[in-house]
Amino acid sequence: LSGGSDWNLRFKNGMYQLGGHLGFSHVEGDAGAIAAVQRASARYYQRPDIDYLTLDTTRTSLGGYSAGLYLSKNSGKHWLWGSSFWAESPGFELNDVGRLNSSDDAGLQVYLRYRETLPTRYFQNYQFEISSAGEWNYGGERQLSVAELAAELMLRNFWRIKGEFGYSTRAQSDKLTRGGPSMGSGRGWWGEAGLSNSFAATTRWELGLYTSRTELGSREVSARGQLSFRPGSRWELSLAPRFYRHISVRQYVTEAAGGRAETYGRRYIFATVDQRILSSQLRLNYAFTPDFSLEFYGEPFSARGTFYNFGELAAARSRDLRYYGSDGSTIQLDPAEDRYEITDGGQQFGFDDPDFFRLSFRSNLVLRWEWRPGSTLFLVWQQNRGEDRESGDGFGAGNLLDSFASAGNHFFALKLSYWLPVD
């Protein structure tokens, strides 16, 4: 059972707005089902260092609430601002009828924006914004604290320039260990820039760059582009390639028994992962007549992840790892079994090699015919291709072409709609 309401009030002809929402949920089931809900990734009641929640494997119901409040100034010559507060209690649960990534959180966000909407010598319009946000769990531990600066400029030729810079402070995460104790996260920063031409241009293009770093050594970079043009009155073509690389030094791998007292007798194992992604979205539309058209969408995709520098959380609330292969421990990869074997303090344990290399190609081809006003025939051909490769194979743009030949499934669908002219 779930329900909710939302409201908003506007003042001074909509210049100011005050609003909010309030919701609730109540789920019932046998003890096993409710225990699974308590252990789910949205809340992790089983965290060993938690002092404000208790995992109760005998209960047969769980309830919670969600609430939010915001106040904003939405119009005016130059200055706009807003603030919002939200909270979701640990027992709030919507995943039986919807999607809820996380509960057990409360947050606050504020922003201040300056804008100029009248053309100047160099700009058609522009705006600058500063914002900050923080989030805590119901135990009062800060999970997130960020500040951002952003700018968006439109030149007199209607080109757009966007930029953003952000900074995050040290915090705790009750999600990184997947149900284990809280783990520290380091300071970090990120920056993003984008450039695009006029929306009204016959040939449109867009470029974007993103990069980030953390004090622990994680780093990220991505580049994307988009080109859309009409070679004729009936044709429309767009291509959107993307490259992404993320080296994360705190990627969760698995959990094992036999840990130290500092981690409540469990081992929470992490690694550095070097992840690379190449993809491209292709859209092609052709109109034979105003009522008869062919539309195509395809996306070749390639992703590879290499894991190394394995270790375990040194202590609850720590940012540090005890790396295997040091401090009296050993680590060895068994290539025949594709498995890592660890020896630490007289104990032996292991886990499968998490490296991956995946290709995929998904596409839709739709023939649309409106054979009479309001009545339409759709013929659809969908492909879903994919394959796994050895992680040591070469990674490059050629993988996108290779994905076209991957094994997969073909789906065909026919849909007919008929309009009944009933007055």
Residue pair 144/173 in contact by the 8 Å Cβ criterion? no
Is there a domain that residue 78 lies in? no
Is there a domain that residue 61 lies in? no
Domain containing residue 282: 157-417
* Cβ atoms within 10 Å of 421's Cβ, excluding its own: 6
Residue pair 61/34 in contact by the 8 Å Cβ criterion? yes
Token output for 274: 């070097």
Which helix (H) or strand (E) covers residue 191, if one does? strand 188-196
Which helix (H) or strand (E) covers residue 147, if one does? strand 142-155
Is there a domain that residue 57 lies in? no
Is there a domain that residue 390 lies in? yes
Residue pair 268/255 in contact by the 8 Å Cβ criterion? yes
CA-to-CA dists, residue 20 to 9, 87, 92, 388, angstroms:
9, 11, 17, 47
Is there a domain that residue 23 lies in? no
Is there a domain that residue 401 lies in? yes
- DSSP string computed for 225-270: EEEEE-SSSSEEEEEEEEEEEEEEEEEEEEEEE---GGGTTEEEEE
Is there a domain that residue 11 lies in? no
From first to last of its 423 residues, the chain has per-residue pLDDT tens of: 899 999 999 999 999 999 999 999 999 999 999 999 999 999 999 999 999 999 999 999 999 999 999 999 999 999 999 999 999 999 999 998 888 999 999 999 999 999 999 999 999 999 999 999 999 999 999 999 999 999 999 999 999 999 999 999 999 999 999 999 999 999 999 999 999 999 989 899 999 999 999 999 999 999 999 999 988 889 999 999 999 999 999 999 999 999 999 999 999 999 999 999 999 999 999 999 999 999 999 999 999 999 999 999 999 999 999 999 998 999 999 999 999 999 998 899 999 999 999 999 999 999 999 999 989 999 999 999 999 988 777 788 888 999 999 999 999 999 999 998 876
Number of domains in the chain: 1
Amino acid identity of residue 225, one-letter, is G
Residue pair 104/88 in contact by the 8 Å Cβ criterion? yes
